[in-house]
Amino acid sequence: MDIFSPGFLNYLISLGTMSGIYAVLCLGLNLQWGFAGLFNAGIAAFFAIGAYTTAILTTPESPNYLGGFGLPIVLAWPIAMLLSGVIAWAIGRICLRLRGDYLAMATIGIAEVIRLLIKNEAWLTAGTRGIPNIARPFEGLPSTWNHLAFMGLVMALVAIIYWAAERAWASPWGRTMRAIRDSDMAAAAIGKDVTQFRVEAFVLGAMVMALGGALSAHYFKFLGLSATEPMMVTFLVWVMLIVGGSGNNRGAILGALIIWIIWSATELLTNRLPGEWITRTSYIRVLLIGILLQVVLQRFAKGLVPERPPRMIDDKPESR
Amino acid sequence: MSLLQIDKLVAGYGAVDILNGIDLAVEPGKISVIVGPNGAGKSTALKAIFGLAQIREGRVLFQGDDITRQPADRLVARGIAYVPQERNVFRSLSVRENLEMGAFLKPGDIARRIEAVMGLFPPLREKLKQAAGELSGGQRQMVAMGRALMLEPKLLMLDEPTAGLSPLYMDQIFDRVIAINQSGVGVLLVEQNAKQALAIGHVGYVLATGRNRFTDSAANLLVNREVAESFLGG
Amino acid sequence: MIALSDFINLYLLPGLVVGCIYALGAIGISLLFGILRFAHFAHGDMMTLGAYLAIIFTANFDWSPYAALPITVIGTALVALLLDRAFYKPFRRSAGIVTVIASFGVMLMLRSAIQLIWGVDVKTYDIGIRFPMEFGMLKIAPRQVTIVLVTAALVIALHLFLSRTRLGKAMRAVSDDPDLARVSGINVEQVVRWTWIIGAGLAAAGGVFIGIQTKVHPNMGWDLLLPLFAAAVLGGIGRPYGAVAGGLAIGLCQELATYPWFSEEPFIAPGYKPAVAFSVMVIMLIWRPTGLFRGRAF
Ligand SMILES: Nc1ncnc2c1ncn2[C@@H]1O[C@H](COP(=O)(O)OP(=O)(O)OP(=O)(O)O)[C@@H](O)[C@H]1O
Ligand SMILES: [Mg+2]
């Protein structure tokens, strides 16, 4: 393979963009799981809310679905995040006062309901047809450059979220969140409103996930039912965060990069196999990723980049 | 040889140490009493033996055999029975089922042993079919002790069996402890009602902040002025 | 309006049958939650596995699925024991939610393994067409009768097990208080093994019933998960009898919700049946998270 060929460059750019989008999702999940210990089994729901909101708001008029608002991205994305946050808030209010398993079950439910809505309410979402012609920012630029610019945008957003999440991690808010995660009884005993803190983390995470969905919609320029597929979104993001190291924002980004490279590289390999084997190997791939998850959970529970207590600006360096 | 012997036990929960090296012993057929202020680590000592608190250092010997960190069912099989301080009955199971669970390891001949427990705690007889969660505190304590006695243990460890009981019930429970002991069972008794407990005990231990503060015969501890002032409420 | 006979034949009876299937799955979820304290996400896929194991016998040896049922139940229970040993046992002492993640992984592994072995096509058991029995205006398919009767028999057997046998009582004891069970000398690991055997066995039976009633496909476990969780929550999680009631209730609710109650149109479009389960679950979580039968309060 000629590493200087435009094809390879484009491959690298797509790799960077996709892992960037996944990094956004991972950072969102880290806010929920890493910070607050909340198990969200419906990442796909918040991803799809983000993707469909921005697609509907920014695309031109179409007889197939509710469109034609023609909003610019700078408006559409915040709206998408807001909507996702509101839904997360409602779910969180109901479930987060209960044991974690209830949230897990309810998020499965919300993901399923969102999937049904997208599938059945074709007037709104175009249903199985999907929404085409979603504009990608920088499309005016020549081919490789516009890909590059979009990757730059994704990277910039990852950087901003990372920075904000790191600040949050070191803040009193982050400290309270970890205290709640590690022992909600103890946190409640010192007078913290445990449910309120959890709802905050859950809503923030869901908003970041919606941004990931929006980015993905504009990157692929087409949005269909596959966006609600639990496998590609929910499961992969979980594997990324666990492998990278939950509770560590750097781990979240690293996990997204590594797992996406493995995922897409194996796809590259298996695509060369004869027809029937392509489908078969795609299941082997899921199986192997599942085993990887289990191995990491059991043997390297902390992930590649373990969680660390934040360095406090006003603390003396720890003497060890 | 002591029935139970604890040497320099260090134990705690998570990363926190609660016991900082305590020594205890129960002689065969005798009652050892542990007293001490709230949070001293009395319950933790019993829990550590049964793996509900983690042992970090030290040993636990039963009849001379090292039983440190052995799984609970092995300890029960050896003849150690334990009644925790809180949540010591299966609330949704009937009284009879609670007793049967005490005999899980030796299911044969349950009827005779239930009969023996009924002899010890007659008030339970008419409650056999009732859910244990519906009983009064004193009756629940009887169920808990009855459950522990189902395997005819050599050592009975009781964590504050009289906590929250009316004086009448309290006397009944102490009376039963004596009866159990007189049938040859060694007893390790943790108590808040220190005077009464020491009065029925043979050996006494005063624990405070995870350490042995006083160890003596129960009778001597009762008349020890220092102990009386600081730990027996004057 | 639709005639009463159609209401019974097209909504009530199917709802009852689906309810039985949900009940069989939800019992396992509820038992496992009570004993192991985690929501088992791979439970729907245990049902899928049962449905596919039966295909081995119906397709290769021309057995009837009923004949394949016992061996399918045993096979699924064995797989569950292996999965427990490999993927859940290492987390017995960790926080429950880590086990949930592990079960999430097992869910996808099971599904991809099934897709790998059996492919993604929809399959049926080829029972052949049996004409429904007519009782006056009622039309009842023999398979509906069988499914309801076998489910009832299994639930009664479960009841006898839990209330009469030493192991069944120990199971309730562990569910009540695992620490106390351990210090009482109950062999908790043995209880856990039997919980898997019963939970997975019943799930397999439910899976085979789905195949008998409709068809088998690799994603059916995912579609089942939501109604199963809803049934377990409705019945009070950790309460096997509650799960039976919850399963029946969810099954009936889902089918009856598509009845044209107020106009010519179905009250709820059939495509939204899973949303009915979700609504019931959310209402329960708001109103009474311990479930109708006072499960564990968390
Ligand atoms: N499960 C636990 N996890 C963490 N800390 C615990 C746990 N149980 C007890 N502790 C702590 O261990 C210390 C000793 O508790 P322990 O129950 O042994 O005291 P105790 O002497 O039995 O007191 P009491 O007379 O009130 O029963 C206390 O500070 C308590 O907060
Ligand atoms: Mg105590």
Per-residue confidence at C185, pLDDT binned at 50, 70, 90? very high
What is this structure's pTM? 0.92
Angle at A76 between CA A74 and CA A82, to 5 degrees: 110
Q: What pLDDT, on the 0 to 100 scale, is given for residue A320?
A: 36
Mean pLDDT for the stretch of residues B173-182: 96
Q: Is the pLDDT of residue C297 over 50?
A: no
Q: Which of A28-37, A168-177, B225-234 comes out lowest in average pLDDT?
A: B225-234
Q: Tens digit of pLDDT for each residue in B140-164?
A: 999 999 999 999 999 999 999 999 8
Q: Tens digit of pLDDT for each residue in A8-27?
A: 888 899 999 999 999 999 99
Tokens of C13: 């009876």
Q: What pLDDT, on the 0 to 100 scale, is given for residue B173?
A: 94
Pick from B44, B80, B104 the residue to mutate for testing the C interface (most C CBs within 10 Å).
Answer: B104
Alpha carbon of C260: minimum distance to chain A alpha carbons (Å) = 19
Per-residue confidence at A65, pLDDT binned at 50, 70, 90? confident
Q: Tens digit of pLDDT for each residue in C128-166?
A: 777 788 888 888 888 999 999 999 999 999 999 999 999
Kindly write down the DSSP assignment for every residue of A89-141, as one continuous string.
HHHHHHHTTS-HHHHHHHHHHHHHHHHHHHHH-HHHH-GGG-B--PPPTTTTS
Task: Tell me which residue has its CA closest to atom 22 in ligand 1.
Answer: B43
Q: Is C136 on the interface with A (CB under 8 A)?
A: no
Separation of alpha carbons A314 and A309, rounded Å: 14
Mean pLDDT for the stretch of residues A57-78: 90
Pick from C83, C106, C109 the residue to mutate for testing the A interface (most A CBs within 10 Å).
Answer: C109
Ligand 2 centroid to Cα of residue C8, in Å, is: 60
Q: Is the pLDDT of residue C91 over 90?
A: yes
List the single residue in C108, C222, C298 with the smallest CB-CB distance to A286.
C108
Q: Write a three-state SS string for A101-115.
A: HHHHHHHHHHHHHHH
Cross-chain Cβ contact B73/C186 below 8 Å? yes
Q: Is the pLDDT of residue B58 over 70?
A: yes
The domain spans of chain A are: 14-228
Tokens of A109: 């439910």
Q: Which of A277-281, A300-304, B17-21, C181-185 comes out lowest in average pLDDT?
A: A277-281
Q: Is the pLDDT of residue B234 over 60?
A: no
Count of the separate structural domains present in chain C? 1
Structural contact between residues B103 and B151, judged by C-beta atoms closer than 8 angstroms: yes
Pick from A114, A259, A297, A300 the residue to mutate for testing the C interface (most C CBs within 10 Å).
Answer: A297
Maximum CA extent, chain A: 67
Share of chain C above pLDDT 70, in %: 97
Domain membership flag for residue B62:
no
Q: What pLDDT, on the 0 to 100 scale, is given for residue B10?
A: 96
Tokens of A284: 């082997």
Ligand 2 centroid to Cα of residue A307, in Å, is: 35
Share of chain A above pLDDT 90, in %: 61
Structural contact between residues C208 and C6, judged by C-beta atoms closer than 8 angstroms: no
Interface chains of chain A (3 or more CB pairs under 8 Å): C
Mutate-to-test residue for ligand 1 from B24, B35, B43, highest number of ligand atoms within 8 A of CB:
B43
Q: Which of B80, B43, B35, B44 is nearest to B61 (CA)?
A: B80
Q: Is the pLDDT of residue A274 over 80?
A: no
Pocket residues: Cβ below 6 A from ligand 1:
B 13, 18, 36, 38-44, 85, 192
Count of the separate structural domains present in chain B? 1
Share of chain C above pLDDT 90, in %: 74
List the single residue in C166, C170, C184 with the smallest CB-CB distance to B147.
C184
Per-residue confidence at C296, pLDDT binned at 50, 70, 90? low
Domain membership flag for residue B17:
no
Domain membership flag for residue B100:
yes
Q: Tens digit of pLDDT for each residue in A176-192?
A: 999 988 887 777 877 78
Q: Tens digit of pLDDT for each residue in A121-137?
A: 999 999 889 999 899 99
Cross-chain Cβ contact A112/C278 below 8 Å? yes
Task: Tell me which residue has its CA closest to atom 16 in ligand 1.
Answer: B41
Alpha carbon of A292: minimum distance to chain C alpha carbons (Å) = 9
Q: Amino acid identity, residue C16?
A: L
Per-residue confidence at A319, pLDDT binned at 50, 70, 90? very low
Q: Is C160 on the interface with A (CB under 8 A)?
A: no
**What is the residue range of B118's domain?**
87-152
Residue A51 neighbours by CB under 8 Å, 6+ apart: A80, A213, A214, A216, A217, A223, A227
**What is the residue range of C183's domain?**
14-218
Mutate-to-test residue for ligand 1 from B9, B13, B55, B188, highest number of ligand atoms within 8 A of CB:
B13
ipTM given for this complex: 0.93
Q: Tens digit of pLDDT for each residue in A276-303?
A: 777 778 888 889 999 999 999 999 888 8
